[in-house]
Amino acid sequence: MHLFTTIFLSFVAASVLVGLWLSQRQISHIRSHYTRVPAAFAGKIALEDHQRAANYSCAKLRVGRISLAWETLLLLLWTVGGGINLIDQWWSGYEFGALISGIAVIFSVLLMSSILNLPFSLYHTFVIEERFGFNQTSWQTWLQDLIKSALLVTALGIPLLAAILGLMNQSGANWWLYAWLVWMSFSLVMIWACPAFIAPLFNKFSPLQDAALRTRIENLLQRCGFQSQGVFVVDGSRRSSHGNAYFTGFGRNKRIVFFDTLLESLSEDEVEAVLAHELGHFKRNHIKKSLLLSSVMSLAAFAILAWLMSSAWFYHSLGVDAASTHAALLLFMMIMPVFVYFVSPLFSALSRKHEFEADEFAHFNSNYKALISALVSLYRDNASTLTPDPIHSMFYDSHPPATIRINHLETIAADGSSA
Protein backbone atom coordinates (compact mmCIF):
# COMPACT_ATOMS: atom_id res chain seq x y z
CA MET A 1 0.00 0.00 0.00
CA HIS A 2 1.16 3.55 -0.77
CA LEU A 3 2.36 5.53 2.24
CA PHE A 4 -0.23 8.24 1.60
CA THR A 5 -3.05 5.66 1.36
CA THR A 6 -2.10 4.55 4.86
CA ILE A 7 -1.98 8.15 6.13
CA PHE A 8 -5.34 8.96 4.53
CA LEU A 9 -7.05 5.84 5.88
CA SER A 10 -5.63 6.50 9.36
CA PHE A 11 -7.01 10.03 9.34
CA VAL A 12 -10.41 8.77 8.10
CA ALA A 13 -10.52 6.15 10.86
CA ALA A 14 -9.41 8.64 13.52
CA SER A 15 -11.97 11.27 12.45
CA VAL A 16 -14.80 8.71 12.48
CA LEU A 17 -13.78 7.42 15.91
CA VAL A 18 -13.49 10.94 17.35
CA GLY A 19 -16.83 11.89 15.77
CA LEU A 20 -18.63 8.87 17.23
CA TRP A 21 -16.97 9.30 20.61
CA LEU A 22 -18.00 12.99 20.82
CA SER A 23 -21.53 12.14 19.74
CA GLN A 24 -21.76 9.42 22.42
CA ARG A 25 -20.44 11.83 25.07
CA GLN A 26 -23.03 14.42 24.06
CA ILE A 27 -25.91 11.91 24.23
CA SER A 28 -24.82 10.59 27.67
CA HIS A 29 -24.35 14.09 29.05
CA ILE A 30 -27.77 15.25 27.85
CA ARG A 31 -29.41 12.07 29.18
CA SER A 32 -27.81 12.42 32.60
CA HIS A 33 -29.38 15.91 32.93
CA TYR A 34 -32.74 14.80 31.58
CA THR A 35 -34.78 14.87 34.77
CA ARG A 36 -33.92 18.38 35.98
CA VAL A 37 -33.80 21.87 34.44
CA PRO A 38 -30.37 23.43 35.24
CA ALA A 39 -30.59 25.76 38.28
CA ALA A 40 -29.81 28.89 36.21
CA PHE A 41 -32.95 28.28 34.12
CA ALA A 42 -35.33 27.11 36.83
CA GLY A 43 -38.61 29.00 36.46
CA LYS A 44 -37.61 30.24 32.99
CA ILE A 45 -37.72 26.96 31.12
CA ALA A 46 -40.30 24.28 31.90
CA LEU A 47 -39.19 20.68 32.47
CA GLU A 48 -41.30 19.69 29.47
CA ASP A 49 -39.38 22.09 27.19
CA HIS A 50 -36.06 20.96 28.65
CA GLN A 51 -36.90 17.34 27.86
CA ARG A 52 -38.16 18.18 24.39
CA ALA A 53 -34.77 19.86 23.71
CA ALA A 54 -32.98 16.76 25.01
CA ASN A 55 -35.03 14.42 22.81
CA TYR A 56 -34.57 16.65 19.77
CA SER A 57 -30.78 16.93 20.28
CA CYS A 58 -30.41 13.16 20.75
CA ALA A 59 -32.56 12.36 17.70
CA LYS A 60 -30.33 14.61 15.55
CA LEU A 61 -27.15 13.07 17.03
CA ARG A 62 -28.33 9.53 16.26
CA VAL A 63 -29.05 10.36 12.61
CA GLY A 64 -25.75 12.24 12.53
CA ARG A 65 -23.91 9.00 13.29
CA ILE A 66 -25.60 7.08 10.50
CA SER A 67 -24.91 9.97 8.16
CA LEU A 68 -21.23 10.00 9.23
CA ALA A 69 -20.92 6.29 8.48
CA TRP A 70 -22.62 6.72 5.09
CA GLU A 71 -20.50 9.70 4.07
CA THR A 72 -17.33 7.88 5.09
CA LEU A 73 -18.32 4.84 3.05
CA LEU A 74 -18.97 7.06 0.00
CA LEU A 75 -15.66 8.87 0.46
CA LEU A 76 -13.78 5.57 0.49
CA LEU A 77 -15.70 4.28 -2.54
CA TRP A 78 -15.00 7.43 -4.54
CA THR A 79 -11.27 7.49 -3.72
CA VAL A 80 -9.45 4.27 -2.85
CA GLY A 81 -12.45 2.26 -4.10
CA GLY A 82 -11.87 3.62 -7.61
CA GLY A 83 -15.17 5.51 -8.13
CA ILE A 84 -13.57 8.69 -9.43
CA ASN A 85 -11.28 6.63 -11.63
CA LEU A 86 -14.25 4.87 -13.20
CA ILE A 87 -16.08 8.12 -14.02
CA ASP A 88 -12.83 9.63 -15.30
CA GLN A 89 -12.24 6.72 -17.69
CA TRP A 90 -15.85 6.81 -18.88
CA TRP A 91 -15.69 10.52 -19.80
CA SER A 92 -12.21 10.30 -21.29
CA GLY A 93 -13.63 7.80 -23.83
CA TYR A 94 -15.51 10.70 -25.44
CA GLU A 95 -12.34 12.76 -26.14
CA PHE A 96 -13.90 16.12 -25.40
CA GLY A 97 -10.59 17.77 -24.48
CA ALA A 98 -9.13 18.48 -21.04
CA LEU A 99 -11.40 21.35 -20.00
CA ILE A 100 -14.79 19.94 -20.97
CA SER A 101 -14.14 16.41 -19.77
CA GLY A 102 -12.70 17.88 -16.54
CA ILE A 103 -15.91 19.81 -15.89
CA ALA A 104 -17.97 16.73 -16.83
CA VAL A 105 -16.09 14.47 -14.41
CA ILE A 106 -16.33 16.91 -11.49
CA PHE A 107 -20.02 17.61 -12.14
CA SER A 108 -20.89 13.91 -12.48
CA VAL A 109 -19.24 13.05 -9.17
CA LEU A 110 -20.74 16.02 -7.30
CA LEU A 111 -24.20 15.31 -8.75
CA MET A 112 -24.07 11.64 -7.76
CA SER A 113 -22.82 12.54 -4.28
CA SER A 114 -25.69 14.98 -3.75
CA ILE A 115 -28.25 12.41 -4.91
CA LEU A 116 -26.77 9.79 -2.58
CA ASN A 117 -27.04 12.24 0.34
CA LEU A 118 -30.63 13.30 -0.42
CA PRO A 119 -32.23 10.67 1.86
CA PHE A 120 -30.60 12.37 4.86
CA SER A 121 -31.89 15.78 3.90
CA LEU A 122 -35.37 14.32 3.43
CA TYR A 123 -35.26 12.45 6.72
CA HIS A 124 -34.08 15.57 8.56
CA THR A 125 -36.87 17.78 7.22
CA PHE A 126 -39.81 15.40 6.98
CA VAL A 127 -39.13 13.08 9.91
CA ILE A 128 -37.09 14.77 12.64
CA GLU A 129 -38.18 18.39 12.15
CA GLU A 130 -41.73 17.16 11.59
CA ARG A 131 -41.75 15.05 14.77
CA PHE A 132 -40.66 18.01 16.91
CA GLY A 133 -43.08 20.39 15.24
CA PHE A 134 -40.51 22.55 13.42
CA ASN A 135 -41.20 21.57 9.85
CA GLN A 136 -43.33 23.97 7.77
CA THR A 137 -41.89 22.92 4.41
CA SER A 138 -44.34 21.40 1.97
CA TRP A 139 -43.21 18.79 -0.56
CA GLN A 140 -43.77 21.36 -3.23
CA THR A 141 -41.48 23.93 -1.57
CA TRP A 142 -38.85 21.27 -0.93
CA LEU A 143 -38.83 20.22 -4.57
CA GLN A 144 -38.77 23.80 -5.82
CA ASP A 145 -35.82 24.58 -3.53
CA LEU A 146 -33.98 21.55 -4.83
CA ILE A 147 -34.50 22.50 -8.48
CA LYS A 148 -33.60 26.16 -7.90
CA SER A 149 -30.41 25.26 -6.01
CA ALA A 150 -29.39 22.78 -8.70
CA LEU A 151 -29.87 25.40 -11.42
CA LEU A 152 -28.02 28.03 -9.39
CA VAL A 153 -25.08 25.74 -8.66
CA THR A 154 -24.87 24.84 -12.35
CA ALA A 155 -25.14 28.43 -13.60
CA LEU A 156 -22.52 29.75 -11.16
CA GLY A 157 -20.41 26.62 -10.78
CA ILE A 158 -19.62 25.87 -14.42
CA PRO A 159 -18.02 29.26 -15.23
CA LEU A 160 -16.08 29.20 -11.94
CA LEU A 161 -14.87 25.67 -12.51
CA ALA A 162 -13.97 26.44 -16.13
CA ALA A 163 -11.91 29.45 -15.00
CA ILE A 164 -10.06 27.49 -12.31
CA LEU A 165 -9.41 24.39 -14.43
CA GLY A 166 -8.36 26.62 -17.32
CA LEU A 167 -5.78 28.37 -15.10
CA MET A 168 -4.59 25.03 -13.72
CA ASN A 169 -4.09 23.70 -17.25
CA GLN A 170 -2.56 26.70 -18.92
CA SER A 171 -1.14 29.43 -16.72
CA GLY A 172 2.14 27.82 -15.67
CA ALA A 173 3.73 27.30 -12.28
CA ASN A 174 2.00 30.24 -10.60
CA TRP A 175 -1.50 29.08 -11.55
CA TRP A 176 -2.49 28.70 -7.88
CA LEU A 177 -2.01 32.45 -7.26
CA TYR A 178 -4.25 33.36 -10.21
CA ALA A 179 -6.79 30.70 -9.27
CA TRP A 180 -6.85 32.06 -5.72
CA LEU A 181 -7.51 35.58 -7.05
CA VAL A 182 -10.40 34.25 -9.14
CA TRP A 183 -11.76 32.33 -6.13
CA MET A 184 -11.55 35.37 -3.83
CA SER A 185 -13.19 37.67 -6.38
CA PHE A 186 -15.95 35.12 -6.86
CA SER A 187 -16.50 34.86 -3.08
CA LEU A 188 -16.62 38.64 -2.65
CA VAL A 189 -19.09 39.03 -5.51
CA MET A 190 -21.23 36.29 -3.94
CA ILE A 191 -21.25 37.97 -0.51
CA TRP A 192 -22.23 41.20 -2.18
CA ALA A 193 -24.86 39.66 -4.49
CA CYS A 194 -26.38 37.16 -2.11
CA PRO A 195 -28.70 39.43 -0.08
CA ALA A 196 -29.94 41.38 -3.09
CA PHE A 197 -30.11 38.76 -5.85
CA ILE A 198 -29.80 35.20 -4.58
CA ALA A 199 -31.59 35.01 -1.21
CA PRO A 200 -34.79 36.55 -2.74
CA LEU A 201 -35.00 33.55 -5.10
CA PHE A 202 -35.81 31.42 -2.06
CA ASN A 203 -37.51 33.78 0.38
CA LYS A 204 -39.54 36.91 0.51
CA PHE A 205 -37.80 39.86 2.19
CA SER A 206 -39.94 42.80 3.24
CA PRO A 207 -38.99 45.98 5.09
CA LEU A 208 -39.89 45.88 8.78
CA GLN A 209 -43.45 47.24 9.08
CA ASP A 210 -43.92 47.79 12.83
CA ALA A 211 -43.41 51.59 13.12
CA ALA A 212 -42.54 51.72 16.84
CA LEU A 213 -40.01 48.92 16.57
CA ARG A 214 -38.61 50.46 13.41
CA THR A 215 -37.94 53.78 15.14
CA ARG A 216 -36.16 52.05 18.02
CA ILE A 217 -34.04 50.08 15.60
CA GLU A 218 -33.18 53.13 13.52
CA ASN A 219 -32.12 54.96 16.70
CA LEU A 220 -29.90 52.09 17.69
CA LEU A 221 -28.33 51.94 14.20
CA GLN A 222 -27.66 55.66 14.32
CA ARG A 223 -26.17 55.47 17.85
CA CYS A 224 -23.79 52.77 16.63
CA GLY A 225 -22.96 54.62 13.38
CA PHE A 226 -24.19 51.83 11.16
CA GLN A 227 -25.27 52.52 7.59
CA SER A 228 -27.22 49.85 5.81
CA GLN A 229 -29.89 49.06 3.28
CA GLY A 230 -32.23 48.68 6.22
CA VAL A 231 -33.90 46.11 8.37
CA PHE A 232 -35.77 43.30 6.66
CA VAL A 233 -38.10 40.54 7.72
CA VAL A 234 -37.78 37.20 5.98
CA ASP A 235 -40.61 34.69 5.71
CA GLY A 236 -38.63 31.90 7.40
CA SER A 237 -41.91 30.47 8.68
CA ARG A 238 -42.59 29.13 5.19
CA ARG A 239 -40.03 26.40 5.83
CA SER A 240 -39.41 26.09 9.54
CA SER A 241 -40.49 27.47 12.88
CA HIS A 242 -36.86 27.88 13.99
CA GLY A 243 -36.11 31.56 14.61
CA ASN A 244 -32.97 33.57 13.95
CA ALA A 245 -31.52 36.95 13.07
CA TYR A 246 -28.51 37.64 10.90
CA PHE A 247 -26.45 40.25 9.26
CA THR A 248 -25.49 39.96 5.62
CA GLY A 249 -23.69 41.61 2.70
CA PHE A 250 -21.01 44.28 2.86
CA GLY A 251 -20.35 47.84 1.75
CA ARG A 252 -23.55 49.66 0.96
CA ASN A 253 -25.34 46.40 0.41
CA LYS A 254 -25.43 45.30 4.04
CA ARG A 255 -28.69 44.52 5.68
CA ILE A 256 -30.07 43.13 8.87
CA VAL A 257 -32.54 40.31 8.56
CA PHE A 258 -34.97 39.07 11.18
CA PHE A 259 -36.93 35.85 10.78
CA ASP A 260 -40.66 36.48 11.07
CA THR A 261 -40.74 33.61 13.59
CA LEU A 262 -38.27 35.49 15.81
CA LEU A 263 -40.22 38.76 15.75
CA GLU A 264 -43.34 36.88 16.83
CA SER A 265 -41.76 35.44 19.94
CA LEU A 266 -39.61 38.36 21.19
CA SER A 267 -40.58 41.65 22.84
CA GLU A 268 -39.34 44.99 21.46
CA ASP A 269 -36.62 45.19 24.11
CA GLU A 270 -35.44 41.72 23.21
CA VAL A 271 -35.40 42.44 19.47
CA GLU A 272 -33.34 45.56 20.13
CA ALA A 273 -30.87 43.60 22.27
CA VAL A 274 -30.51 40.87 19.62
CA LEU A 275 -29.88 43.52 17.00
CA ALA A 276 -27.26 45.16 19.23
CA HIS A 277 -25.51 41.78 19.43
CA GLU A 278 -25.54 41.48 15.62
CA LEU A 279 -24.15 45.03 15.33
CA GLY A 280 -21.42 43.97 17.76
CA HIS A 281 -20.22 41.45 15.18
CA PHE A 282 -19.96 44.25 12.66
CA LYS A 283 -18.41 46.87 14.96
CA ARG A 284 -15.75 44.49 16.30
CA ASN A 285 -14.78 43.66 12.68
CA HIS A 286 -15.72 40.00 12.95
CA ILE A 287 -16.89 39.94 9.34
CA LYS A 288 -13.62 41.41 8.07
CA LYS A 289 -11.58 39.08 10.29
CA SER A 290 -13.44 35.98 9.09
CA LEU A 291 -12.98 37.08 5.51
CA LEU A 292 -9.25 37.59 6.07
CA LEU A 293 -8.95 34.20 7.74
CA SER A 294 -10.77 32.43 4.93
CA SER A 295 -8.64 34.19 2.30
CA VAL A 296 -5.43 33.03 4.02
CA MET A 297 -6.85 29.51 4.36
CA SER A 298 -7.84 29.33 0.70
CA LEU A 299 -4.44 30.64 -0.40
CA ALA A 300 -2.80 27.85 1.61
CA ALA A 301 -5.26 25.34 0.13
CA PHE A 302 -4.40 26.35 -3.45
CA ALA A 303 -0.66 26.21 -2.68
CA ILE A 304 -1.02 22.69 -1.25
CA LEU A 305 -3.12 21.65 -4.24
CA ALA A 306 -0.38 22.93 -6.59
CA TRP A 307 2.14 20.73 -4.82
CA LEU A 308 -0.12 17.66 -4.76
CA MET A 309 -1.15 18.09 -8.40
CA SER A 310 2.44 17.58 -9.55
CA SER A 311 3.03 14.53 -7.35
CA ALA A 312 2.26 11.17 -9.01
CA TRP A 313 1.75 9.45 -5.64
CA PHE A 314 -1.22 11.72 -4.87
CA TYR A 315 -3.32 10.14 -7.65
CA HIS A 316 -2.13 6.57 -7.26
CA SER A 317 -2.57 6.48 -3.52
CA LEU A 318 -6.19 7.65 -3.89
CA GLY A 319 -7.29 5.22 -6.58
CA VAL A 320 -6.87 7.37 -9.70
CA ASP A 321 -4.73 5.94 -12.55
CA ALA A 322 -4.29 8.98 -14.81
CA ALA A 323 -2.94 12.27 -13.42
CA SER A 324 -5.03 15.29 -14.46
CA THR A 325 -5.90 18.72 -13.12
CA HIS A 326 -9.56 17.85 -12.60
CA ALA A 327 -8.73 14.61 -10.74
CA ALA A 328 -6.36 16.56 -8.48
CA LEU A 329 -8.99 19.22 -7.77
CA LEU A 330 -11.72 16.65 -7.10
CA LEU A 331 -9.58 14.44 -4.85
CA PHE A 332 -8.40 17.49 -2.95
CA MET A 333 -11.96 18.76 -2.36
CA MET A 334 -12.98 15.32 -1.13
CA ILE A 335 -10.13 14.49 1.23
CA MET A 336 -9.41 17.95 2.64
CA PRO A 337 -12.30 17.90 5.17
CA VAL A 338 -10.86 14.73 6.77
CA PHE A 339 -7.68 16.63 7.69
CA VAL A 340 -9.34 19.97 8.45
CA TYR A 341 -11.65 18.20 10.93
CA PHE A 342 -8.84 18.04 13.49
CA VAL A 343 -8.22 21.80 13.46
CA SER A 344 -11.93 22.69 13.44
CA PRO A 345 -11.96 23.21 17.26
CA LEU A 346 -9.73 26.25 16.66
CA PHE A 347 -12.34 27.80 14.37
CA SER A 348 -15.11 26.99 16.83
CA ALA A 349 -13.09 28.65 19.60
CA LEU A 350 -12.58 31.78 17.51
CA SER A 351 -16.28 31.92 16.75
CA ARG A 352 -17.17 31.62 20.46
CA LYS A 353 -14.71 34.43 21.24
CA HIS A 354 -16.55 36.59 18.71
CA GLU A 355 -19.88 35.74 20.35
CA PHE A 356 -18.57 36.94 23.73
CA GLU A 357 -17.35 40.17 22.15
CA ALA A 358 -20.69 40.76 20.43
CA ASP A 359 -22.46 40.14 23.74
CA GLU A 360 -20.21 42.73 25.40
CA PHE A 361 -21.07 45.20 22.68
CA ALA A 362 -24.77 44.47 23.17
CA HIS A 363 -24.38 45.05 26.90
CA PHE A 364 -22.90 48.53 26.35
CA ASN A 365 -25.44 49.54 23.70
CA SER A 366 -28.69 48.03 24.89
CA ASN A 367 -30.21 46.19 27.80
CA TYR A 368 -28.29 43.04 28.76
CA LYS A 369 -31.26 41.66 30.69
CA ALA A 370 -33.34 41.77 27.52
CA LEU A 371 -30.56 39.93 25.70
CA ILE A 372 -30.57 37.22 28.38
CA SER A 373 -34.32 36.78 28.17
CA ALA A 374 -34.13 36.73 24.36
CA LEU A 375 -31.48 34.00 24.59
CA VAL A 376 -33.65 31.97 26.95
CA SER A 377 -36.59 32.27 24.51
CA LEU A 378 -34.38 31.27 21.60
CA TYR A 379 -33.06 28.23 23.45
CA ARG A 380 -36.59 27.19 24.38
CA ASP A 381 -38.21 27.80 21.00
CA ASN A 382 -35.40 26.18 19.01
CA ALA A 383 -35.21 23.25 21.46
CA SER A 384 -31.44 23.74 21.86
CA THR A 385 -30.01 21.78 24.74
CA LEU A 386 -28.98 23.70 27.88
CA THR A 387 -26.68 20.90 29.00
CA PRO A 388 -24.14 20.13 26.26
CA ASP A 389 -21.10 17.98 26.98
CA PRO A 390 -18.13 20.37 27.54
CA ILE A 391 -15.77 18.52 25.17
CA HIS A 392 -18.39 18.14 22.42
CA SER A 393 -19.15 21.84 22.79
CA MET A 394 -15.45 22.80 22.70
CA PHE A 395 -15.05 20.85 19.46
CA TYR A 396 -18.09 21.93 17.49
CA ASP A 397 -20.04 24.80 19.01
CA SER A 398 -19.92 28.15 17.25
CA HIS A 399 -21.79 29.69 20.20
CA PRO A 400 -20.88 29.30 23.89
CA PRO A 401 -23.21 27.03 25.90
CA ALA A 402 -26.22 28.90 27.31
CA THR A 403 -25.11 28.84 30.96
CA ILE A 404 -21.62 30.15 30.21
CA ARG A 405 -22.92 32.83 27.87
CA ILE A 406 -25.49 34.13 30.33
CA ASN A 407 -22.94 34.04 33.19
CA HIS A 408 -20.58 36.07 31.04
CA LEU A 409 -23.26 38.70 30.42
CA GLU A 410 -24.08 38.90 34.11
CA THR A 411 -20.40 39.16 35.04
CA ILE A 412 -19.68 42.06 32.67
CA ALA A 413 -22.84 43.80 33.85
CA ALA A 414 -21.73 43.43 37.49
CA ASP A 415 -18.20 44.69 36.66
CA GLY A 416 -19.69 47.63 34.79
CA SER A 417 -21.86 48.73 37.70
CA SER A 418 -19.10 48.39 40.33
CA ALA A 419 -16.54 50.34 38.25
Q: Which residues are catalytic?
A: 278, 359
The Cα-based distances of 172 to 55, 81, 296 in angstroms read 55, 32, 22
Of 174 and 285, CB closest to Zn ion: 285
Nearest distance in Å: CB 362, Zn ion: 9
Nearest distance in Å: CB 8, Zn ion: 36
Helix (H) / strand (E) containing 386: none
Give residue 44's region: left, alpha or beta (phi > 0; psi -120 to 50): alpha
The answer for residues whose C-beta is within 8 angstroms of residue 19's C-beta and 6 or more apart is 65, 68, 341
Nearest distance in Å: CB 361, Zn ion: 10
Residue 415 CB coordination number (10 Å) = 10
Of 105 and 358, CB closest to Zn ion: 358
Cα 145 from Cα 58, distance rounded (Å): 27
Of 246 and 313, CB closest to Zn ion: 246
- Residue 321 gets which letter from DSSP? S
Q: Say if CB 357 and CB 284 are below 8 A apart.
A: yes
Phi–psi pair at 135, nearest 5 degrees: -75, 130
Of 358 and 402, CB closest to Zn ion: 358
Phi–psi pair at 256, nearest 5 degrees: -110, 135
Nearest distance in Å: CB 359, Zn ion: 8
Cα 157 from Cα 136, distance rounded (Å): 30
Nearest distance in Å: CB 202, Zn ion: 22
Cα 256 from Cα 273, distance rounded (Å): 13
Of 325 and 377, CB closest to Zn ion: 377
Q: Which residues bind Zn ion (CB under 5 A)?
A: 355, 358
